[in-house]
Structure 1
């Protein structure tokens, strides 16, 4: 019986028996691509037998974690890599996907595991050149395979009995069963991902599988959303061109939190884990300077001390500039409006520039108290003493408000040896080992206290 061609939307996964210029589900134009043949129109569906078990009687699969000793990666993964998990890593070109996974491969080898790194984009000699640059001592059990055939990769992985498989990238591989569909087509990419999941979930010999996923123009994982639903963990590497800071975050994690963020520093010798971010995002100075203040943000379960710097000068244009790289521009404008209204500062004719040391971006409102103090310090041309940390949000009425994870943030500032921590007025009992706690009802009190 004749079969119909099947088309699938690359954005939402909608399926159609014929081509449509516009997807009826998500409204995208030109997003439907041919993925193969649908079932015969009049073919009856078959019923598959499934085993029903009581949940309490199902045996747990051995999903203990492997520690790679790349601390920031282990943190984002939830405390290590689950042995039978599939993780996809995506980022813009040049962000460091392949570099990080090559370093991970060797780190696992150093821990006694056998790893196969399969690349459909680079030759063995190209991978070797990168390895000589980013790996100090290449391990004995790190195997490289340059091919576009996933059938060959799976066969070799089983033959070598590896513990971990890296597939770079999933969009460059094909399975012979689904030819002539080209590499990168939704059909091939999805079926290749299914094959990798099948390999990883083998109950007799589970494997850690990492897939590199290419990114499209919209800065999203290329291909069908089904791939993201299929894998256990989705990791994104973010970083601006020319900026060495890289952040690693999980947008999906079946074995841990999606709120954790890992920090890396990209240099010639690869991606270096920033194990103590609080020290990285501060400037070590002998003397206090104007426009600088310290706050604490919470990223995942971890508190990080963050230094913000501001600069003000007179504008010679009708509209002053408002520039920020650490918070939303609207948030900066709100802080300026609060200072104008509550402190009567004349900022209507001032250019204002705000940035975070290290290029860190945050959406934690608990940094607003530090931002207000930084702006006030720049305006009054007076420095704030350098061993003070400000923790708190600021309301439109100028009140300093409690922030999420206050005690955790205080603990981090106290651990780093700051002598004074400024917080909102609170009835809660605050514990510190060494630091002095100073409480404020509003920004007027704080600015008078530190800048008068």
Structure 2
């Protein structure tokens, strides 16, 4: 017979205790323990349940793989991040800050899938049917008949709808708003309800008779982390994060986990009135289009690595006279400490005085600077601006710069140089001994130098 038990569960880490505590002993967070009621089954009933749910043992060699069985949405950047499309028996969770475009992107994904003949259920516990319809009218040309909307907070009713409609894809927006009757009176969003709902969706996705793709929206905390237990991330096949500043149009879709693709893969979108627009050629998006022969001071080009893909990016600098005792240092897409470090290297090792100059750095398209391989390009853009002499747009810089002024090689350099050659660049400056002996590149000259001073001299000789 089941027994009723009252416990206190931490909303951050899932730690359980029979009494309330102000501070969680496991994760050290304050005021996160919430009282919940649990039913504890006796030994006989749990043994019976294990006997009923027992599945036959199967040889691994006899298991039929579904790795290549994917639903291709046609949204190129989304398919790239997913590893080539949505695996039919997978469960994916997508999270982001409020307003980043989670629901918008998934409604577009639902539309693309529906047009391929797949049935889609869009279950929302946050928005009404009319709100979803208003968004669909705004971003979709017309609404496909293969999309069903379920406005519910009961996961039990969503499961009934799945059994009735028999969809190929189910979208849950968001998991923290749903509850299951078996886990009541635990509130929506609690670890108990979230994990019970997720486990039920996992059972539906990987059923023996009918496999379905499940996409879950997960809320994000103030610390920019997926809300709930870490066990939720372990349970799903893929975790996608939309990276965005709400005042910028650029959106990055990052796969922080993907069992069927590359973890760390990044896709890019532009938020518009018509929804999320896939940026299929980021190298063009993150460069300014200029006429042939047009040279602008303060602009340099480099290649970054996002996931498995090299992307050409433009760095812009503006150096101006300071009229205050403390010159301004602004890095819109670069950390202030990193900018000050690069300026100090340029002053000490490059012999260029900037103590009376304001220095402002940004990147075209709003791309955040995360890696060291862009440092040479940042410094050379400052040199170009202070000298008011532009650098030809067919020249790129790919190297880190040490505190000694020496150039340092960066990873995946061969792929970056090949991307430059594909885009028609003529020269690229890299660190000495960056490549193994015998590697040659067509249509692009690779200039390997040892120090920052050598680069400045070579560019402006």
TM over 0.5: yes
Structure 1 match to 2:203: 198
Residues 396 and 44 of structure 1, relative CA distance in 2, 3 Å threshold = farther
2-structure distance, mates of 1:169, 1:51: 31
Once the two structures are overlaid, the 10-residue window that deviates more, 145-154 or 278-287, is 145-154
Structure 1 match to 2:354: 347
| 1:444 equivalent in alignment to 2:453 | yes
1-structure distance, mates of 2:88, 2:231: 22
Structure 1 match to 2:239: 234
Once the two structures are overlaid, the 10-residue window that deviates more, 387-396 or 159-168, is 387-396
Residues 250 and 36 of structure 1, relative CA distance in 2, 3 Å threshold = farther
1:110–1:139 Cα contact (<8 Å) kept: yes
TM superposition shift of 1:422: 1.8
Structure 1 match to 2:228: 223
1:21–1:30 Cα contact (<8 Å) kept: yes
2-structure distance, mates of 1:113, 1:234: 23
1:387–1:420 Cα contact (<8 Å) kept: yes
1:400–1:424 Cα contact (<8 Å) kept: yes
Structure 1 match to 2:9: 8
Unaligned runs of 5+ in 2: none
Once the two structures are overlaid, the 10-residue window that deviates more, 56-65 or 308-317, is 56-65
2-structure distance, mates of 1:353, 1:16: 53
TM-score if structure 2 supplies the norm length?
Answer: 0.93
2-structure distance, mates of 1:321, 1:154: 58
Matches for 1:51-450 after TM superposition, within 5 Å: 53=57, 56-57=60-61, 59-63=63-67, 64-286=69-291, 287-426=294-433, 428=436, 429-450=438-459
1-structure distance, mates of 2:18, 2:40: 10
2:121–2:150 Cα contact (<8 Å) kept: yes
Residues 386 and 250 of structure 1, relative CA distance in 2, 3 Å threshold = same
Number of aligned residue pairs: give it.
451
TM superposition shift of 1:359: 0.5
2:37–2:185 Cα contact (<8 Å) kept: no
SS where residue 227 of structure 2 aligns?
coil
1:114–1:163 Cα contact (<8 Å) kept: yes
1:9–1:224 Cα contact (<8 Å) kept: no
Unaligned runs of 5+ in 1: none
TM superposition shift of 1:36: 2.4
1-structure distance, mates of 2:55, 2:153: 37
1:342–1:397 Cα contact (<8 Å) kept: yes
1-structure distance, mates of 2:40, 2:188: 23
Once the two structures are overlaid, the 10-residue window that deviates more, 92-101 or 317-326, is 317-326
Once the two structures are overlaid, the 10-residue window that deviates more, 3-12 or 143-152, is 3-12
2-structure distance, mates of 1:120, 1:334: 48
Write out the 4+ residue segments of structure 1 that deviate beyond 4 Å after TM superposition.
Answer: 42-55
Alpha-carbon displacement from aligned partner over 1:47-67 (angstroms, at most 9, x marks no partner): 646668475445135342221
Alpha-carbon displacement from aligned partner over 1:86-139 (angstroms, at most 9, x marks no partner): 111111111100000000001111222111111112222221111111112322
1-structure distance, mates of 2:208, 2:142: 33
Q: Give the alignment's Cα RMSD to 1 decimal.
A: 2.1
SS where residue 296 of structure 2 aligns?
coil
TM superposition shift of 1:256: 2.0
Once the two structures are overlaid, the 10-residue window that deviates more, 253-262 or 322-331, is 322-331
SS where residue 182 of structure 1 aligns?
coil
2-structure distance, mates of 1:315, 1:362: 25
2-structure distance, mates of 1:275, 1:451: 35
TM-score if structure 1 supplies the norm length?
Answer: 0.94
SS where residue 368 of structure 1 aligns?
helix
1:6–1:38 Cα contact (<8 Å) kept: no
1:36–1:187 Cα contact (<8 Å) kept: no
TM superposition shift of 1:184: 2.2
